[in-house]
Structure formats: C-alpha cells, structure tokens
Amino acid sequence: MAKSAFLKSSIAKKYWMALTGLFLCLFLVGHLLGNLQLLAGRSTEAALQFNKYALFMTSNPAVKVLSYLTYLSILFHAIDGILLTIQNKKARPVAYAKKDDAASSNFSSRNMAVLGTLILVFLATHMVNFWAKMHFDKKMPLQMISAENMGQKVNFIVSTNNGLAGNDAFLGKFIPESAIDGKYYFIEGNVVYLQREFKDVNDGNKLKKEKIKIAEGYKDLHKITVDFFKSKGKLFNVIPNEGLVFTIFYVFAMLVLGFHLWHGFQSAFQSLGVNNKFTPAIKLFGKAFSVLVPLLFAVIPVYIHFILK
Ligand code: HEM
C-alpha cells in the first residue's frame, strides 16, 4: 500500500475507534446507573424495581436500537483495535528502546491492545452469565413474592399486569406458583400460558388444544445477579466459593477497564482532532471518569458478595 493510503486508512481507523469508544463510554454511564440499583438490597421492592428496569431495557424499541448500536460499537472498536495494532507492528517492526517508551508514554498507552483484549475476554464471560440468560434462557426464573396463608408459605408469581384474561378466578396481580402445573398452566420465557382443550363445533366436534397467553411475569435478573456473586458453588467443579472468585475477577476487570480508559478517553478526543483550550479540561475529566466509573462498577460485586445479607 502507498504510504499516504496507509496513513489515511490508519487515520480512518483511529477516527472510528474514537467515535465507537466515546459511544461505549456513554453506554458505561447508563449501564452503571442502572446497575447501581443493585445496591438497594434484596427486598421484594428493590428486586422488583431492578427487574422492571431490566424488562424496560430489553423491550423498549428505542433502547433496543441503542443496544444494537452498543453491540456494533464493541465489534468495530475491537476489530479496528486489532487491525491498528497489526498495522503499527508492521510499520515499526523493531520496538523503541525502553528509555524512550517510558519518557513519551505511560503504562496505559503502551498496553492498550492487551488491556482491550482482557476487556473483551471479560465481556464474553459477562454476556454469557447475564445477557444470554436474560435474552435466551427459557428457564429463567420469574420474580416471586411469598405470603403466609393459614400458617403456610405460598409463593406467587408477580404479574406485569392484572392478568390478560381477567375472567380466570385466581388471575390477578399475583399468580400462585402452585397453579403452574406444567400441563394446564405453564411458563415459557416470561409468559404464563393456559392450555385448554375444547370441542371444535365447526370441525366435527374434534377435540382441540388451545394455548392462551394469560399473563407476563418479570424475569428475575436481580436474583440471577445476586446468586452469581454470592454463589457457594465450585467453579469448574474444582475451585470452591465461586462467588468470591467471580467478585475478584470483576474487580480485576474493572481495574483493567480503568487503565484502558485512562489513556483511551483523552486519546479519543486527540484522534478526532480536538486540540483547543478545552484539552486540559478534557484530559482531567477523562482521568476522573476512568477512576470513578470502574470504581463504582467494582463496588457492586463487592457489596453483593461481602455485605448483602
Ligand atoms: C460490575 C458490574 C456489572 C454488573 C453487575 C453488570 C450486570 C449486567 C446485567 C445484569 C446485564 C444483563 C441486562 C440485559 O441484558 O439487559 C448486563 C448486560 C451487559 N453488560 Fe454489564 N454489568 C456490569 C459491568 C459491565 C461492564 C464494566 C461492561 C463493559 C465493559 C458491561 C457490559 C455489558 C453489556 C455490553 C451488556 C449487554 C447490554 C445490552 O444488551 O444492551 N457490563 N450487565
């Protein structure tokens, strides 16, 4: 490739990395604000608030568009980062002497590719443990509340509405768990169905089955998250107290994210060609952002594992 074309393609990549990186910073703020609700404890109300928020985030059309933009940004940012690293290695096969490195850069700027790769590994595990469960796990638990009835504890599924077919006797805001027999009443995803048999008078009185949606519940993402960091299970059937391992892993990942943002935030503005009287303020804001956001994220698993009763 001619030198100018090479330069152009590398500038274009940096530009896209900057745009997608800054968009992902916005995502981080939104995600953090949503997740901070987990610090409200594990009462029914606190769980319901978080689960309502999760339902909104996965069903609102505008939020869905933002989610797809986030996935695309992660892909673009990672692929561009890998290509840029390869390009830079080709352009400069012999590494600079250590002395120059230390003078013109810092730990973060020298290790952006490694830090980014570690974040990608974290994200892969994170998506499997939470996002995939929320979106694809047909057996995801629905939120329940417990009530005493004649000295007996009865569980009810919290419905998002008052029952879609209001003529069913027990259908209200809460559906007794005991009613879900798997035969007449069953759950698929977050929907409670009633399966009815009837004789079709229009078809020679043939016995037919009909599946009627009667209510929707809240997927219990709050329980999934709390159980994850509190789990006493064995990781890979070998390492005990996996909740502690996950907590340490998340704190480590947030440290990595902090270092990545430390250089990345201000570097994005540089790549976009912003160089004016605001540059020192942008650098300062970037540093505060890269400490505060990962720190607050890290507080969540630590709180759940060590403090939440
Ligand atoms: C340590 C605190 C964190 C907790 C407790 C947490 C929790 C969650 C949960 C419960 C979900 C599933 C919600 C859903 O699918 O709508 C989720 C999704 C996600 N998380 Fe996190 N998260 C944390 C940190 C992070 C960080 C630091 C990143 C990025 C570096 C991240 C990136 C994502 C992404 C990209 C999704 C998918 C979002 C979407 O579908 O729009 N999370 N997280």
175 lines ligand 1 (CB under 6 A): no
Atom of ligand 1 nearest to the CA of 301: 1
Torsion of CA 93, 96, 102, 103, to 10 degrees: -130
103 has pLDDT over 60? no
Atom of ligand 1 nearest to the CA of 58: 16
- Global pTM reads 0.88
- Continuous H helices in the chain: 3-35, 44-59, 61-91, 98-104, 107-110, 112-126, 132-136, 221-230, 242-271, 279-302
Verify that 13 and 30 share a domain, yes or no: yes
Verify that 293 and 241 share a domain, yes or no: yes
Atom of ligand 1 nearest to the CA of 134: 15
Instruction: Indicate the residue type of 86.
Output: I
98 has pLDDT over 70? no
Chosen domain end from 164, 191, 217: 217
Supply the residue whose CA is at minimum distance from atom 37 of ligand 1.
131
Residues of the chain above pLDDT 90, percent? 69
Residues of the chain above pLDDT 70, percent? 90
Atom of ligand 1 nearest to the CA of 74: 35
Helices 112-126/242-271 angle, 10° precision: 130
Residue 129's pLDDT band (cuts 50, 70, 90): very high
301 lines ligand 1 (CB under 6 A): yes
Verify that 228 and 107 share a domain, yes or no: yes
Return the pLDDT at 167.
Answer: 45
Q: Ligand 1 pocket: which of 52, 58, 72, 126 to mutate (most atoms <8 Å of CB)?
A: 126
Count of domains forming the chain = 2
Supply the residue whose CA is at minimum distance from atom 15 of ligand 1.
131
Report the C-alpha gap between 277 and 263 in whole angstroms.
Answer: 19
Verify that 198 and 229 share a domain, yes or no: no
Q: If you measure from the C-alpha of residue 102 to the centroid of ligand 1, how many angstroms do you get, rounded to a whole number?
A: 35
Verify that 152 and 124 share a domain, yes or no: no
Q: If you measure from the C-alpha of residue 127 to the centroid of ligand 1, how many angstroms do you get, rounded to a whole number?
A: 7
Q: If you measure from the C-alpha of residue 27 to the centroid of ligand 1, how many angstroms do you get, rounded to a whole number?
A: 10
Mean pLDDT of the 269-289 span: 95
Report the C-alpha gap between 37 and 263 in whole angstroms.
Answer: 29
Q: Ligand 1 pocket: which of 20, 31, 35 to mutate (most atoms <8 Å of CB)?
A: 31
Reported as a single tens digit per residue, the pLDDT across 73-87 is: 999 999 999 999 998
Contact criterion met (CB below 8 Å) for 169 and 175? no
Atom of ligand 1 nearest to the CA of 131: 15
Atom of ligand 1 nearest to the CA of 257: 30
Verify that 56 and 195 share a domain, yes or no: no
Reported as a single tens digit per residue, the pLDDT across 236-273 is: 999 999 999 999 999 999 999 999 999 999 999 999 99
Q: If you measure from the C-alpha of residue 116 to the centroid of ligand 1, how many angstroms do you get, rounded to a whole number?
A: 16
Residue 9's pLDDT band (cuts 50, 70, 90): confident
Verify that 26 and 168 share a domain, yes or no: no
Verify that 212 and 231 share a domain, yes or no: no
Reported as a single tens digit per residue, the pLDDT across 169-189 is: 455 678 888 889 988 899 988
CATH number reported for the structural domain that contains residue 58 in this entry: 1.20.1300
Helices 279-302/242-271 angle, 10° precision: 170
Verify that 124 and 247 share a domain, yes or no: yes
Supply the residue whose CA is at minimum distance from atom 34 of ligand 1.
127
Q: If you measure from the C-alpha of residue 126 to the centroid of ligand 1, how many angstroms do you get, rounded to a whole number?
A: 7
Q: Which domain holds residue 167?
A: 144-217
Verify that 206 and 241 share a domain, yes or no: no
214 has pLDDT over 80? yes
Chosen domain end from 199, 217, 235: 217
Verify that 121 and 228 share a domain, yes or no: yes
162 has pLDDT over 90? no
Return the pLDDT at 88.
Answer: 83
Return the pLDDT at 219.
Answer: 96
Chosen domain end from 217, 239, 259: 217
Verify that 255 and 268 share a domain, yes or no: yes
